[in-house]
Amino acid sequence: MIQRAGDDAMRVLIADNDFNHNTRIAEVLEAWGHVVQIAPDANEAIRQQEAFSPDVILSSFPLTRADVPPAILVPPHESVEQAAEALAESNGFWFVRKPVSVEVLRVLLDRASEYGRLLAENARFRAGAAQQSLPIRVGMKLKEGERVLLEATLANLGNNKTHAARALGISTKTLHMKLRQYREQDARSNEAPSEEKTLQDTVR
């Protein structure tokens, strides 16, 4: 196998009983520098999930485990409706029909990998948040609590605004707008004492 150095190399599990399909896709993925394992049936696919720990799965079998990595389904159905139903009933990330286009596969692998990284970061954030005591108190205003949560999310995700926005369920535009509001609010708070002191000096 050809393994490309760096973070671009992925561990890909191909779960399909179509020998020709498996061989063709495995050759393409290995040429791109990814590490590939093949599971010819559903039971072997389950075993390989634990033994191989893939980053992405390319499967024609339903995936019902909740802890599977991002999966691209290649369901053995002719209609889009049937494929969509199979996707909804499993833990699939996307579906594509055979024969799989190499160009489409490359794009989907990149997106599935990025989706997997987001899931992992979100899991780490949730684990950290569970252990971290946020400075939220009874009687705190909603806007204050919102700021605490937003800033804690940013800190836990390395100040990555795109990932933080997704974890919070808001758009990056909304996140940037709120951060700007916080900066303006802080600036006004810092100026207020000086204005009060000036007023007191004037009265005296």
pLDDT beyond 80 at 144: yes
pLDDT digits (tens, 9 = 90+) for 14-59: 999 999 999 999 999 999 999 999 999 988 988 888 889 898 999 8
Strand partners, 14: 38, 58
pLDDT digits (tens, 9 = 90+) for 45-103: 888 888 898 989 998 887 766 567 778 888 775 566 666 666 666 656 777 878 888 88
- pTM of the full structure: 0.55
**Exposed, middle or buried: residue 165 (CB in 10 Å: 0-12, 13-18, 19+)?**
buried
- Residues 169 and 118 sit within 8 Å (Cβ to Cβ): no
Distance from CA of residue 41 to its chain's centroid?
A: 28
Domains observed in the chain: 11-124 (3.40.50.2300), 133-199 (1.10.10.60)
Closest CA to 59 of 29, 27, 94, 35: 94
